[in-house]
Copies of this chain bind each other. A is one copy, B any other.
């Protein structure tokens, strides 16, 4: 048995009726200072509905749940089934109201535990030599 690391939720993702926002817990308010300077953030959340040993042991999927797509290792996807259930989405900030950050959209289930927020800094120039598999 090797070391494990503990995540403490810092809030919750809300996603309902076409609106999305994140709610930060009051004890993390100070960590939001300066967010208003950014148009976009990276939102990290926990795929809590899949937090079972069986689902965390699923190592291959058909991307986008399409059986036409080749069986692919989860590290080569953004599948919500993976050993560590971290979801990652870039979101546009619509408004910040105290502990609530209203965002354009997020591919997280309503109620997903919020794990981290990071600023998003785009590349100054397009990356050269991008390669992608055909299913993308």
Q: Interface of A with B (CB < 8 Å)? A: 2-10, 24, 28, 30-35, 37-42, 44, 46, 48, 51, 56, 59-60, 70-78, 82-86, 88, 113, 115-119, 121-122, 126-127, 129-134, 136
Given known contacts A37-B76, A127-B40, is B82 in contact with A116 (CB within 8 Å)? yes
Cβ-defined contact, B37 with A131, below 8 A: yes
Cβ-defined contact, A32 with B76, below 8 A: yes
Q: Which residues from B are CB-within-8-Å of A119?
A: 75-78, 136
Cβ-defined contact, A86 with B115, below 8 A: yes
Cβ-defined contact, A5 with B132, below 8 A: no
Given known contacts A4-B6, A7-B7, A9-B2, is B84 in contact with A116 (CB within 8 Å)? yes
- Give the shortest distance, in Å, between A34 (CB) and chain B (any CB): 4
- Give the shortest distance, in Å, between A23 (CB) and chain B (any CB): 13
Cβ-defined contact, A78 with B118, below 8 A: yes
Cβ-defined contact, A39 with B131, below 8 A: yes
For this complex, 19 residue pairs linking A to B, each with C-beta atoms less than 8 Å apart, are A3-B9, A5-B48, A6-B6, A8-B56, A24-B75, A30-B60, A31-B83, A32-B76, A34-B73, A34-B76, A37-B132, A38-B76, A38-B131, A38-B133, A39-B129, A41-B75, A84-B116, A86-B116, A121-B136
